[in-house]
Each structure stands twice: as structure tokens, then as C-alpha cells.
Amino acid sequence: MMTNNNGDTGNDGAWLHQLSGVTRDGVMLLQQEWSLARQETIEKVRPAAISTGLIAGGGLMAAVGSTYIMQALVQMLATRMPAWLASLLSGLGFTLGGVALIRNGSRQLQELDVIPQKTIDSLREDKEWLLTQIKSRLT
């Protein structure tokens, strides 16, 4: 075998060149996977953000509207019963309705899956590919 000026054999240089190629490919692959994970996460989180905004906006509108509805209901019921009882019954009805809506919205948010599963699967495949590339270039 021939040696170069620094004492290495020619095969060592080729091996290092191949290994650096695999390293470059691996880094590029990781950058692409990172980009994919970011995009996939944004796609999954966006509906949650929109749903949360809708819940908040709807809650605010419902709170303002329900104030007027409750006032009218209390005045109507107060013609048949004491005003305090009319207020209590109206407030209880609206509170129970609000709690039901909050529970429903919370349940929907909890069921939302934001894990970038495609990226995780792709990373597993990339790992196998990278290991295969390293093994094939070392032999």
C-alpha cells in the first residue's frame, strides 16, 4: 500500500471522504426533518388556536348577551315570584349552560393530537437509512 506525506494510506482518505459525505447527508436530512416537524406542528396547532379564539370570542359575546337575557327573564319571573328567587333561578340556568359549553370545548381541545407523527415516522426511517449508509461505506 502507498502512503501519502502524512503517513496515511490512500484508503483512509477515501474512507474519511465517504464518512464526511454521510455526515453531510445526515445533517441535511436532519435540517429537512426539522422543517417538516415545524410545518406539521403548525398545521396541527392552528386548528386548536382557531378553536380557542372562537371559544373566547363566543364566550365574551354570550356573556354580554346573556346579561340582557337574564335581566329580561328576571323581570318576567319577578311578576310571578319574589325578585331574588327569579334572579337565583335565572343565574343557575345560565351557569349550568355555561359549564356545559366549557366542558364540551375543553374535551375537544384535549382530544386534539399535536404530535408530529409523520415526522417521527420519517425520522425512524432516516435513522435506518443513515445506519445502512454508514455500514455500506465502512465495508
Distance CA 45, CA 72 (A): 40
**Choice between 37 and 60, residue whose per-residue pLDDT is larger:** 60
Given a cut of 90, is residue 80 above it in pLDDT? yes
Alpha-carbon radius of gyration of the chain? 32
Residue 2 inside a domain? The answer is no
Q: What is the mean pLDDT of the chain?
A: 80
Structural domain containing residue 42: 10-138
Tens-place pLDDT, residues 19-36: 677 778 878 888 888 888
Q: Measured between alpha carbons, how far is 139 from 121 in angstroms, rounded to an integer?
A: 28
At 12 the pLDDT is 64
Residue 5 counted as domain residue:
no
pTM across the whole model: 0.40
In the chain, the number of structural domains is 1
* Chain centroid, CA 60 distance in Å: 25
In this structure, what DSSP letter does residue 4 have?
Answer: -
Domain assignment present for 91: yes
